[in-house]
Amino acid sequence: MYELNKENIQDAAVATLADIWSQIDWDKVTGTRAMGIWDEFTSKVKASATTTNQYDKFVEKLCRKMDVRSLRHKNVSEISEQTDEFKNAVLKAFREKTQVIILKLRLNNQVRKEQMQAEKARKEKEEALNKKLENAQVSFTEKGVKVHEN
């Protein structure tokens, strides 16, 4: 159970949007729409939050507006199991702090993207070193040095 404080409420809001964002069908997002996707997402979050008074209905409305068919992550279901007071506080945060929540989501996405790029670069470097090692003329074994003749 989450403690009812500002940080947990905003974290729950960001987690909710991250789950929905990750399930958007990007094949349906064309070039011109993609350029304004964050503005579109922000306005749909705000609209969904202001037109409902229940967390579960908010998630349902936003998923429908963003054409998300199903959620595969556990954050939304965990938040749905919280007290009504907590869920109402999350919904209120969506209404009053939409920009802050969206910015946190964007920052989280950027950090995740940078981590993935760093991991990819590390793997590529490792593969290059392994390939170099395979092509080496000399290798070391438990018994000594082995000379490869190419």
pLDDT of residue 17: 95
Spatial separation of the C-alpha atoms in residues 46 and 62, rounded to whole Å: 9
pLDDT of residue 149: 67
pLDDT of residue 66: 92
The domain segmentation of the chain, as residue ranges, is: 6-147
Rounded to 5°, angle at Cα 26 from 106 and 58: 60
Residue 148 falls in which region: left (phi positive, over 0), alpha (psi -120 to 50) or beta: beta
Rounded to the nearest 10°, the torsion over CA 112, 113, 118, 122 is 100
Chunked in runs of 10, what are the mean pLDDT values of the chain (150 residues)?
76 94 88 90 95 94 90 82 92 95 94 93 89 72 74
pLDDT of residue 50: 94
Give the Cβ contact number of residue 130 at 10 Å: 10
pLDDT of residue 131: 80
Q: How many CA atoms, within 13 angstroms, populate the side-chain half-sphere of residue 4? A: 9
Spatial separation of the C-alpha atoms in residues 127 and 78, rounded to whole Å: 40
